[in-house]
Structures are given as structure tokens and as C-alpha cells.
Chains A and B, each alone.
Chain A
Amino acid sequence: MNSIILLAGTRLLVALLLVFSIFMLLRGHNTPGGGFIGGLIGATGFVVYAIACGTEQARLALRVPPENVAMVGLGIALFAGVMAIFFGDAFFTGQWLFIGATEDDKGLPLSSVLVFDIGVYMVVMGSILTLTFALEEGV
């Protein structure tokens, strides 16, 4: 589809959608957001790009096959679940690391929940893009 309006709009929208998807991923857990919705928004960015510029260009922009993104994401999510076993907790218990914590300050909190969310993000993004690219090329 060679529409100059769509091409010009896509350049702005793809960057905006991808940045917003990362924002949604990082603010999850306590506020609305998280890996699933972030992955959907990120996948939409690539779908818009595929509609405007063609599927080959979108695959080049993604650099790795979308199937691999989903697989690696599944591995990361599994790793986040297994991590709890090393600390003697039940499977999938959230592990927290407070960097620079003092008596009355929590410091910088890092959790295995975020690792799991990143895994979910990659699974959702990879699987949605696999489906969409296959549909686009099939039509």
C-alpha cells in the first residue's frame, strides 16, 4: 500500500507506540500496565509498520525472527520463576533486591517480577507478530 500520508504518519507513530509500550511495561505491578499490555502495544507498532512499508521491511526492522523473540521471552519468564528456588522459596515467589537500602529508605528496589514481566512482554510481542506477519504474507 503506497500511501504517502500513511508512510509519513507511520514514522511518528511507530516510535511513539514503541516508547509507550516500554513505559507500560516498566510501570506495571503497582499501577495499570505490565508485560501483556506493553507487548500488545509494541506489537501494534510493528504491525503499523508492516501495513505501511510491507512485511519484509518490518521483519528487517525487527532484526530477529518473531518466533525467536517469543521463545527467548518464554525462557526469561521461566528463569524468573525458577529464581525463587535458589532462595528457598516456593516456585514463582517474587524475589526483591534493595540496592543501597538504609534504615528508613528502601533504596532502588529490583524484583524478579519485572524479569517475569519482560518475559511476558517478549512472548506476547513475538507471538502476535508471528501471527500477523503470517496473515499479511498469506493474503
Chain B
Amino acid sequence: MTPTEFLYLAVDGAFVMVMVSIALGFYRIAVGPTLADRVVALDMMTVSIVAFCGLYAIFAGVEAFLDVAIVVALIGFLATVALARFAERMMLLRRTPNPKEGTE
């Protein structure tokens, strides 16, 4: 087995593992009982997609996919931050006794 063959074998195996992790993330988003579970699953899927972009850059030999990975890695946390603010605000609304604010 030449080193190139071994590389492509490893890339194929890694593809399968990344797919499984994304599928598990989907399952947690669909089932997850609380909002926090879903947010963490979404974050995990973002990291998996970064890994997928890196793998695909090796598989296709196109380095432009690395830029996609960089952008997704830089921006991926933004969804988590926004959802964390949403959860914080929801908790504040629940605590305030004024019912008019909660009905909006």
C-alpha cells in the first residue's frame, strides 16, 4: 500500500466518522428535551462541518475549501452566542411578574 492510498483510505474513514457525528447532532436537535441540548448539538455540528471542509480540501485537492473552513470556524460560534442571549432573555421574561411583557 502506497502512502497516497493510505491517505485516501484514511480520508474515506474520516468522512464516514464525520457523517456519523453530524447524524448524531441531527438526532439530538430533533429529540433534545431542552434548548441548551439543541444549542450544544448545533455547535457540535458546526465543528463537524469545519472538519468536513478540511477533509474535502484534501479529497478534492482544492484549497479554496480551507477558506470555507476558516469562515465557518470564525462565524460558527455566533449562532451559539445569539441563542445564549435568547435563552437569557427568555429566563428574564419568565421571572418578571408583569404578564404584559410575556405576551408579546
Chain A positions near chain B (C-beta within 8 angstroms): 1, 6, 9, 13, 16-17, 20, 24, 31-33, 37, 41, 44, 47-48, 51
Within 8 A of A (CB), among B58-86: 64, 67, 70-71, 74-75, 77-78, 81-82, 85
Given A31-B64, A32-B64, is A17 in contact with B74 using a C-beta cutoff of 8 Å?
Answer: yes
A51 contacts B82, C-beta separation under 8 Å: yes
A51 contacts B81, C-beta separation under 8 Å: yes
A-B contacts, CB under 8 A, total: 30
Q: Is the interface of B mostly helix, strand, loop or mixed?
A: helix
Q: Give the distance in Å from the alpha carbon of A17 to the alpha carbon of B76 in the complex.
A: 12
Residue with the highest number of chain A CB atoms closer than 10 Å, among B64, B67, B77:
B67
A20 contacts B64, C-beta separation under 8 Å: no
A1 contacts B78, C-beta separation under 8 Å: no
Given A31-B64, A32-B67, is A48 in contact with B78 using a C-beta cutoff of 8 Å?
Answer: yes
Q: Which of B67, B81, B88 contacts A6 (CB 8 A)?
A: B81
B64 contacts A51, C-beta separation under 8 Å: no
Q: Give the distance in Å from the alpha carbon of A9 to the alpha carbon of B77 in the complex.
A: 11
Smallest CB gap from B75: residue in A: A44
A20 contacts B81, C-beta separation under 8 Å: no
Q: Which of B74, B77, B88 contacts A20 (CB 8 A)?
A: B74
A20 contacts B85, C-beta separation under 8 Å: no
Q: Give the distance in Å from the alpha carbon of A24 to the alpha carbon of B74 in the complex.
A: 14
B78 contacts A47, C-beta separation under 8 Å: yes
Chain B residues within an 8 Å CB radius of A20:
70-71, 74
Given A32-B64, A32-B67, is A1 in contact with B74 using a C-beta cutoff of 8 Å?
Answer: no
Q: Which of A6, A41, A48, A51 contacts B71 (CB 8 A)?
A: A41
